[in-house]
Amino acid sequence: MNDLELIKEVIIQDPPTYYNVKKVNKSKLAGHDVYDKHYLTANLFYIQNVHFMVIKKITNDCKRFLVDKIGYLPELEKLNIEIEVRRTKDIDLDNVAYFWCKLLLDVLKTPSSRQTLNANKKGNDIISMNVLDDDSTKYIDSINFKYKNEGNFLIFRFYGRVKSEQVKLDLFFK
């Protein structure tokens, strides 16, 4: 992929496909735990009947999951991402891959000072690996989704150029 080298490949076996949220009021009435099942697809971001706080809880837990699975990534100047979804049945690839892509980009970018200020005011967590300054095309050239009909895996491949830490020398002779 261009002049970018493979920085890391992350293979997640049996990635979660849904998230259960406990319904407290109904649980008390039913006498046992009752859950709402939310599928981890892009539809979660567009559904009108799911409360914002439920979506926030799901996405934050999924971001923590990603940070744990990815581990360390150095700061990067440029990045290309390949997301490969492997399942033993046909899926809506853009729907599944977009969900993980959106959260991945949120985790990789460094939050702006405004985002940090707002999060601190509201007491919210910021889940970030601070790998990229931003998730715009200034730093990301391509994001590719792939599908293979085998196994049950989610694979991320990060192609990038590590940020140069070399300080410009100020030579006293010119």
| Amino acid at position 139, single letter | Y
Task: Provide the pLDDT for residue 106.
Answer: 94
pTM of the model: 0.85
SS3 readout for the chain? CCCCEEEEEEEEECCCCEEEEECHHHHHHHCCCCEEEEECCCHHHHCCCCCHHHHHHHHHHHHHHHHHHHCCCCCEEEEEEEEEEECCCCCCHHHHHHHHHHHHHHHHECCCHHHHHHHHHHCCCCCCCCCECCCCCCCEEEEEEEEECCCCEEEEEEEEEECCCCCCCCCCCC
Q: Which pair of tokens denotes residue 113? A: 């000072």
Task: Provide the pLDDT for residue 157.
Answer: 98
Domain boundaries of the chain, sorted by first residue: 5-162
Task: Provide the pLDDT for residue 41.
Answer: 93
Q: pLDDT 10s digit of each residue in the chain, 174 long?
A: 568 999 999 999 999 999 998 777 766 666 778 888 999 999 888 877 888 888 999 999 999 999 999 999 999 999 999 999 999 999 999 999 999 999 999 999 998 888 888 888 888 888 999 999 999 999 999 999 999 999 999 999 999 999 886 556 666 655
Task: Provide the pLDDT for residue 21.
Answer: 86
| Beta-carbon-side half-sphere exposure of residue 138 (alpha carbons within 13 Å) | 6
Q: What is the maximal distance between C-alpha atoms in the chain?
A: 82
Task: Provide the pLDDT for residue 52.
Answer: 85
Task: Provide the pLDDT for residue 171.
Answer: 61
What is the pairing mode between strands 140-148 and 76-86? Answer: parallel
- Who contacts 3 (Cβ-Cβ below 8 Å, separation ≥6)? 161
